[in-house]
Amino acid sequence: MNFNIGIIGVGKMGLSHLAIANQVEGIQVVAFAEKSNFLRKALSKSTGIEGYADYREMIQKEELTAVIICVPNWLHYETCLYCIDQDLHFFVEKPFTLSHETSLEVAKKADDSNVLGQVGYVNRYNPIFLKAKDLLGQNIIGEVFYYSCEMTGSVLKKPTKSGWRNDYSMGGGCLYDYGSHCIDLALFINGNDVKVKSASLKSVFSQNVDDCVSAELLHLSGRTGHIHVNWADFATRKASNSMTFWGSNGKLIVNKQELNLYLAKNESSTGLNDGWNRFSITDFSTETNYYLRGEEFSKQIQDFVDRVSGNEVKINDTLFDAARVDLIIGEIFSMSNKK
């Protein structure tokens, strides 16, 4: 199946997705929408792709099968609903929307309308995190009784009180921006049947929003986990995700680049050793049509295209999963008396 696609919003993520989508077999980016006159004219001139100031006009005039939505966080809800009304499949950047209620509304409406949607939780497509999920599914370290999931970065380095990042109504704050990635990864690997036991939000530099997130999760299985997110970490140059799992037979430590596995006793036939075992990103196939920011960014768009085309997809990545992330975010806000 070949089809045309449009990009809504060509900021940093929009430009990345445009470059990737242009290299995915089976689709063609035929138009984009961008409010900035300068950016719209410059991009249209350099690429030859038709640019529109209003995404609604683009959707009405172009014959599109799907769109990639990269508008500011607070516009996700209305943009997704408009696409559903136009029978357009959509990929939207995270977070899904700014509340569980609105995310669930969009997910249900898309489902009822046979519109396919996907949210940009890119960690699900990283080969190292997928390896960790597979090993844990094999009970390789025995019964997992505790895990930690962290994401740190240095978005803020000085006091601030302006801009969208300092406004919850616009999707600002560390919990929305970093926390959504961290929570989705925790649920993807450990399961969606979870509730928040305790939570704390702290401000370091921001006047109106959180800069640090700490939360304890309890899964139906009895597994407990700790979420730690901090976007004001001076020691971190680039945003980094990591997880650690403690089990009755060992320990597993994983980030985007490597996995370290300690086995007290290896009782499997996987060729693993007692003691430490190490896997690197270079141990896995990272072939993609186009590499930008990491192969996982291309793989998630390819999965979206396959989903729309009716082909088999590699990752179960539904709008209801994304809405579940927003439920946990809401519980953290409630428990920490923020927002």
Span 37-74, pLDDT tens digits: 999 999 999 999 999 999 999 999 999 999 999 999 99
Superfamily of domain 123-335: Dihydrodipicolinate Reductase; domain 2 (3.30.360.10)
pLDDT range class, residue 339, cuts 50, 70, 90: low
For range 125-130, the mean pLDDT: 95
Which residue ranges does the chain devote to CATH 3.40.50.720?
A: 3-120
Which residue ranges does the chain devote to CATH 3.30.360.10?
A: 123-335
Q: Which pLDDT belongs to residue 314?
A: 83
pTM across the whole model:
0.94
Superfamily of domain 3-120: NAD(P)-binding Rossmann-like Domain (3.40.50.720)
pLDDT range class, residue 292, cuts 50, 70, 90: low
- Where does residue 275 fall: left (phi above 0), alpha (psi -120 to 50 degrees), or beta otherwise? left
Structure tokens at 85: 């009304």
Q: Which of 80, 87, 121, 70 is nearest to 3 (CA)?
A: 87
Single-letter residue type at 288: T
Q: Which pLDDT belongs to residue 293?
A: 67
For residue 182, give the H/E element and its range: helix 180-190
Q: Which pLDDT belongs to residue 291?
A: 65
- Residues 255, 240: contact at Cβ < 8 Å? yes
pLDDT in tens, 15-28: 999 999 988 888 99
